[in-house]
Structure 1
Amino acid sequence: MPAEIENVNQGFVEQDTALESMRASDFDCYSAYGEVIDNSIQAFATDIRLKFEERTDRENTRRKKIGRVLFADNGEGMDQYLLHRCLKLGHSSRYNDRSGIGRFGVGMTLGAIHECQRVEVYSKIKGGKWYYTYIDLEEIRDGKLSFIPSPVQKDPKTDLVDYVEDSGTLVIWSKYDKQYESFENIIDESHFWIGRTFRKFIWGEAQGYNKVDIYINGSKVKAFDPLFVNKENTGFETETPAILLKPQSFPWTVPVEANSKNQSSQIEINVSLLPDDYRRESGKGGDQFSKDRFINRNEGISILRNDREVFYGHLPYANQLGGSEADRNVNRFIGCEIAFKAELDTEFEVKNIKRGAKPVRELKVEIIKRLAPTFRTQREKIRNRWNEKSRENEDDTSTNNSKVGISSTHSKTNEFLKKTKSTLLKNNKINDTEKDEVIGKKINPEASENEIDKVIKALKENGITIDEKEFIGDSFIDIEHGNQLKTLFYNTNSTFYKAYSDILDELKERDSELADKYKVLLDLIFVGYMLAESNIDPNEKMDGATFANELKQYWAINLSKILKKWNS
């Protein structure tokens, strides 16, 4: 080997290619934004502002593109020494310090280059001037930039920092080339993600830190509490808070590598039950009321590290907490928060980007053992209350229906259909106004003209109604499509109905609850067929084979949709 090669000093990485490779890190855009916010919080900022600017250098009428993202804070700022090193991977004035929310010294830069190719930083300390440095991956790739430039005195050219008085920092991301979601969705989701992740800081409850106001494009970020206990700065301050169940706390051994003076550290578990006026009725966990309050997104578990959320979602292989879709739909009305100190980072497999943390197997087993009974009890409580309300609503529906001649024979199904009519009738293509009176007469043949109007009105309130009548012949169902109302009659004279009734009566003697479910299930199968008919445009011409295929496809689609709602 030539001597000149032996004596050449080799760096630890090929700088340009290494940085390009690091762009494929395990960030998403929100966790990348979170890293910059972390730095601002650690600099004791009380006001943090994000601004998303639309790209203007090219036309794109179909989709807005992010041109720049700016982050400003009124924290302590950085002197020239720290500013020169703040973009260097692995450098941190708090490296391996577990007392705060940072630790590794790679988050801000890794997060930035995951999203964009140019990162600029302005900072000033109390009594000082603004200083500036940057990195640009294109310049590094082209050989124009080999080192992080020494900070130079330079004032920011943006009004975003006009509020900064004594000290602060401005970070600008440009050459933004990793946008995978729409411009509008990124802003909306940033509000939600930041409000949940930094909720303790927004409330001023994070240990060792100031209360923080965070703004995105001039709009203040509202806190989101997965427990629904703290209503401060949520936008729903006057509404009933959730019931906080008895907290659980248990010690866990601190790993040797944490270099902690403590042999064990407490893990705190809080579980809540959302208030009755949030739980309302079964099947409403995804309606607009729930979406406005993010109840529909509250099926997971929140894990906090030093008061900052590092995980939200379902713990893997934790079916004991509710593995079925039906259980998960109920779990959204149960809040759960697990909090630990950073000295247990190893036990929660905390990554250097503070994303995706989850407990190691032994710890997860312990957590599940403590949570599973509570989750089961609360789900049972929620379902019992729903059943109680359902019986009340069912009685009301049966009473109102009986006034116009609709029997209570299928009241459970009719109540379910009434609650879900807006969804089920969404793609209805048959609205035959002339059929309304015909249907009304079938319900109540003796009704006068004024009474028929009341019958039709009641049927429209139901949307879809199931009943039983005796008809001549052996046809087992009769379906009618009116104007925003549909009826399905079983022919009590048919061979099918008689066989069905015999089986149902026998089943009732063994298990009345199961018999009721069987009855509703059979009703819904035929409702699926009814909706399949109404999905086909009556004015569209097609041959018999095409019609049969479309009918089968729509039947399968509607039945799947109906049963999914019924199971939830």
Structure 2
Amino acid sequence: MSLPQHPYVRPSQVIGSMRDNGYKNTAYALAELIDNSIQAGAKTVRFVCFEAYEKVNATSRRRIQKIAILDDGYGMDEETLYMALEFGASKNKEDPEGMGKFGMGLPNSSISQCKKTEVWSWQNGNRPYYTYLDVDEIESGKQETIPYPEIKDLDNIIADAYKGSVPNSGTVIVWSSLDRLHWKTSIALLKHTQNLIGRMYRYMIQHKDESKRVRIVFENQLFDESTGGYKSENPVSFKANDPLYLMTDTVVEDAKDFPSDFKGQSLFDISLDGQSNREEIELSDGTKGYYCIRASSVKKSFAEKLTEQTNSKIGSTDVGRQFASNIGLSIIRSGRELDLKRDFKIKDNYQKDRYIGVEVHFPPSLDNFFGVTNNKQSATKIQPANLPEIALQEGVDEAEVISAIKESDPDHALLLECLAKIEGAFETFNELKLKNITYGKVTKNQGSENADPASVIASNAEEQRSNEYPTAGDFEPADRDEVREALSEYSYTKTELEELTTNVIDNNIKVQFIEKEGPLTTLFDISLNQGLTLIQINNEHNFYRNFMSKATERDQMLLKVCLAAWGRMEKEAPTDEVRRRYRLSREKWGEVLDGYLNQDEY
């Protein structure tokens, strides 16, 4: 009997689930495209937003319409371009030491943010080849295969973004139908990508060899209705963001309270240089590689200068907050940061560990050894080793664990040795004690008389939780314009809006409660913003009318803190799909609760 052949994957059936592919945010997805550009020899990578005003709740607001990545790299011929949108088929895999070798970056990152991806590429002054990927067409069954590249000139607005000088070779990727962006305006996107992109590519932005240096430029093109065209706004070149604070001319120097007499100087002392402690290793299958660890701690003179400039603890300064955003272990693969793992940091209530920096470097040849994921979001095997547990399993003393497993699993023993050295690098924290640094006046945030006590308590709880289970944006200070825009959804007067915005910013509020009429039978709605969680409590819900509005102030506060805990759970969801399920559960529970309380006896 002859049976029809079936494909391993039916694109129309799986494309939806493939979109939930684990990218932490838009910046990480964009980094995949920047990786490809750099690997293709680009000297300048342009990151361009095309923005226009849209009506949002009867208010005209800016919204990003398209995002384009433009480079001046080697470009692709038609066969290479044809492979570029195929999952797992990139020619970058042929470069064993390159940043991109999994063949997943372009299509994987693109569908995580948008429904349509267009690609133009050209070489040696020839006309560009063009192809595209369209999620809607794939889901409908219209696009089952990648369209073979055709010759097609760049759109005029894209060519203009090259500043009138399209390079001899290059590649352009355009995202449109942007249904999954984390930040909807160019201002927000720049704010939240500037530090992250600057940190990920710091060694390329400040490469010692000028011929290998890469310039990454952000630019916004705003649609002008009067002319029907786009007007370029001020471009911004990304600066390096160095968690070890050994580089100069980095983003921290742009902080408002950065001491001017330290410009052009390293702010930390180096304790591990990454050269004298470089370890060459060979795995059991013959794979060779290396790893090296660098570490640093804040200079006493710089800490003292910050102390002079504040009446509070130096961690509350703009510089101190910037330090806090870089807490953890920076994992560097092929010169590019994969991840900043916060679970290696010292558990310290006042985040004094922000004043040390640790990073580990390794080449792509050790990807399997360190557990590098195919979306280059993390190295899963780099985490604190539980030596007591392993010792218990092996039936040996903790000090003998590594030697005990060397015979049976030499590669695991090598990994444990590396992890032990990484953890040892965090002993740089002890150097701070030897330096006898003063961190200024330590004050716990109690909020002002205008702050809702529940918001203050929930904000303090959120801050403590983020130390152990950090999420994107936890250590980013709230932006006044973004807070104002988020709060403006709730029909406040102009005066109320400014007062509430000021209260959130001045009191470092991370969880804000709003009591307003909400959607149908939903008890509470949650809006996750960078640095701020908004919880709208529906004052028309039966639970609110029959119980919450009549509860004592203390009980109301406890109920709000309970809702804040749910909000944090949604924020920590590992994927967008899990977060969606949490939201549906919250809405369904509110509906059931409303029905249970819809009785005359209440």
Normalising by the residue count of structure 1, what TM-score does the alignment of the two structures yield? 0.62
Cα deviation per residue 1:64-106 (whole Å; 9 max; x = unaligned)? 5432111000111111111122111111113263211111101
Structure 1's 18 and 256: CA in aligned 2 closer, same or farther, altered over 3 A?
A: farther
1:144 corresponds in structure 2 to: 142
Alignment of 1:312-391 (within 5 A): 312-315=340-343, 318=344, 322-326=346-350, 329-359=351-381, 361=385, 362=412, 365-376=416-427, 378-379=429-430, 381-382=432-433, 385-387=436-438
CA RMSD of aligned residues (A): 3.2
| Equivalence map 1:407-422=2 (5 Å) | 416=441, 420=443
Residue in 1 aligned with 2:21?
A: 25
Task: Tell me the SS of whatever aligns to 1:176.
Answer: coil
Structure 1 Cα separation of the partners of residues 198 and 90 of structure 2: 26
Shift of 1:163: 3.4
CA distance in 2, matches of 1:189, 1:206: 28
1:547 Cα deviation after fit = 13
CA deviation map 1:415-466 (0-9, x unaligned)? x4xx759x6574379xxxxxxxxxxxxxxxxxxxxxxxxxxxxxxxxxxxxx
Query: In structure 1, what is the equivalent of residue 50 of structure 2?
Result: 53
Question: For residue 164 of structure 1, what is the aligned residue in structure 2?
Answer: 166
Q: Which has the larger radius of gyration?
A: 1
Letter paired with 1:244 = I
Tell me the CA shift for residue 295 of structure 1. Answer: 1.0
Distance 1:71 1:552, change over 3 A: closer
Identity %: 27
> Once the two structures are superposed, what CA deviation does each residue of 1:124-164 show, in whole Å capped at 9, x if it has no partner?
10131122111111112223323222222222122113333
Match of 2:35 in 1: 38
1:242 aligns with 2:268: yes
Cα deviation digits, residues 277-328 of structure 1 (max 9, x gap): 443448321322333xx2121211101011111110224xx5xx523434xx
Q: What is the rounded CA distance, in whole Å, between the counterparts of 1:359 and 1:55 in structure 2?
A: 44
Query: Which residue of structure 2 aligns with residue 221 of structure 1?
Result: 238
- In the TM superposition, what are the counterparts of 1:276-315 in structure 2 within 5 Å? 276-280=300-304, 281=307, 283-291=313-321, 294-315=322-343
**Residue 243 of structure 1: SS of its match in structure 2?**
strand
Distance of 2:10 and 2:290 partners within structure 1? 43
Give the 5 Å matches for 1:88-107: 88-95=86-93, 97-107=95-105
Which residue identity does 2:161 align to in structure 1?
Answer: L
> Alpha-carbon deviation of 1:250?
4.6
Gapped regions of structure 1 (runs ≥ 5) = 391-415, 430-545, 558-568
Cα deviation for residue 222 of structure 1 reads 0.7
- One of 114, 119, 137 as aligned partner of 1:116: 114
SS in 1 for 2:89: coil
Question: Conserved in 2, the CA contact under 8 Å of 1:65 and 1:179?
Answer: no
Describe how 1:128-527 pairs up with structure 2 within 5 A. Answer: 128-157=126-155, 158=157, 159-161=160-162, 162-183=164-185, 184-205=187-208, 210-217=212-219, 218-232=235-249, 234=251, 236=253, 237-247=263-273, 249-251=277-279, 253-255=281-283, 260=287, 262=288, 265-280=289-304, 281=307, 283-291=313-321, 294-315=322-343, 318=344, 322-326=346-350, 329-359=351-381, 361=385, 362=412, 365-376=416-427, 378-379=429-430, 381-382=432-433, 385-387=436-438, 416=441, 420=443, 426-427=448-449
C-alpha contact (below 8 Å) 2:206/2:213 kept by paired residues: yes
Q: What is the CA–CA distance in structure 2 between the aligned matches of 1:139 and 1:64, rounded to whole Å?
A: 28
Structure 1 residues 367 and 374: alpha-carbon distance in aligned structure 2, compared to 1, 3 A threshold: same
Aligned to 1:87: 85
Distance in 2, Cα, partners of 1:255 & 1:55: 54
1:36 and 1:71 in contact (8 A); partners too: yes
* Equivalent residue number for residue 508 of structure 2: none
Distance 2:63 2:6 in 1: 40
Kindly tell me: are residues 21 and 270 of structure 1, through their superposed partners in 2, closer, same or farther at Cα, counting changes over 3 Å? same
Partner of 2:73: 75
Residues 364-416 of structure 1 show CA distances to partners (whole Å, capped at 9, x for unaligned) of 643453344553453453476235x86xxxxxxxxxxxxxxxxxxxxxxxxx4
- Evaluate the alpha carbon distance shift between residue 333 and residue 93 of structure 1 in structure 2; reply closer, same or farther with a 3 A threshold: same
Once the two structures are TM-superposed, the CA of residue 337 in structure 1 deviates from its matched residue by: 1.1
The 10-residue stretch of structure 1 (279-288 or 10-19) with the greater mean CA deviation from structure 2: 279-288
Residue type matched to 1:87 in 2?
A: L
User: For residue 284 of structure 1, what is the amino acid of its counterpart?
Assistant: I
Name the amino acid aligned to 2:37: S
For the structure 1 residues 78 and 380, does the alpha-carbon distance in structure 2 shift closer, same or farther, using more than 3 Å as the test? closer
What do the CA deviations read for 1:486-535 (whole angstroms, capped 9, x no partner)? xxxxxxxxxxxxxxxxxxxxxxxxxxxxxxxxxxxxxxxxxxxxxxxxxx
Counterparts of 2:265 and 2:31 in 1: how far apart (Å)? 29
Distance across 1 between alignment mates of 2:271 and 2:431: 15
Q: Residues of 2 paired with 1:254 and 1:64: CA distance?
A: 54
Contact 2:271–2:428 (Cα < 8 Å) also in 1:
no
Residue 215 of structure 1: SS of its match in structure 2?
Answer: strand
Kindly indicate whether the alpha-carbon contact (under 8 Å) linking 2:45 and 2:217 is maintained by their aligned counterparts in 1: yes
Which deviates further from its counterpart, 30-39 or 9-18? Answer: 9-18
Separation in structure 2 between the aligned mates of residue 311 and residue 121 of structure 1, nearest angstrom: 27
3-state secondary structure, aligned to 2:314? coil
Contact 1:94–1:103 (8 Å) recurs in 2: yes
Gaps of 5+ in 2: 220-234, 254-262, 386-411, 452-549, 562-602
More deviation in 354-363 or 213-222? 354-363
